[in-house]
């Protein structure tokens, strides 16, 4: 089945800074301070983006004393991967399915 991908998750990942955050978090679990160092972005800006990522269900927070650790939810990325794979597979056969000119 061609389960249409959720536009919201993709839109959230479409921002360059957020995608960088996700790439960093794919390597290790980090807290905001680390992300500030790695990305060079302001803390406020990062906090906003982390909120967006959290509300999109892409990351989870894990308080650790005064720090907040962020970890990726791999199943979300895996789901995206699968849905894009389905789209790609379907697209390969779509070349012959040309609807007649109206």
Partner DNA sequence: CTCTCACATCACTATCTGCTGATACCAGCA
Partner DNA sequence: TGCTGGTATCAGCAGATAGTGATGTGAGAG
Instruction: Please give the residue ranges that form the binding site for DNA (CB under 7 A).
Output: 11, 15, 17, 31-33, 36, 41-45, 47-52, 61, 65-68, 102
Rounded-to-integer distance, Cα 90 and Cα 101, Å: 21
What's the DSSP call for residue 15? S
Picked from DNA, a copy of itself, none, the partner binding residue 99 (CB below 5 to 8 A depending on kind) is: a copy of itself
Rounded-to-integer distance, Cα 61 and Cα 54, Å: 8
Binding site for a copy of itself (CB under 8 A): 2, 4-5, 7, 10-16, 19-20, 22-23, 25-31, 33-34, 64-65, 67, 69, 71-75, 77-78, 80-85, 87-92, 94-95, 97-99, 101-102
Q: How far is CA 102 from the centre of its chain?
A: 39
Q: What element of type H or E holds 82?
A: helix 74-94
Minimum CB separation of residue 12 from DNA in Å reads 7
């Amino acid at each position: 089945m061609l389960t249409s991908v959720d536009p919201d998750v993709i839109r959230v990942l479409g921002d360059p800074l957020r995608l960088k955050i996700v790439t960093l978090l794919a390597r290790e679990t980090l807290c905001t301070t680390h992300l500030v160092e790695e990305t060079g972005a302001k803390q406020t800006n990062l906090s906003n983006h982390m909120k967006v990522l959290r509300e999109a269900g892409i990351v989870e927070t894990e308080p650790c004393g005064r720090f907040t650790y962020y970890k990726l939810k791999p199943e979300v990325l895996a789901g995206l991967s699968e849905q894009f794979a389905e789209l790609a597979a379907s697209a390969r056969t779509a070349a012959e399915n040309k609807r007649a000119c109206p």
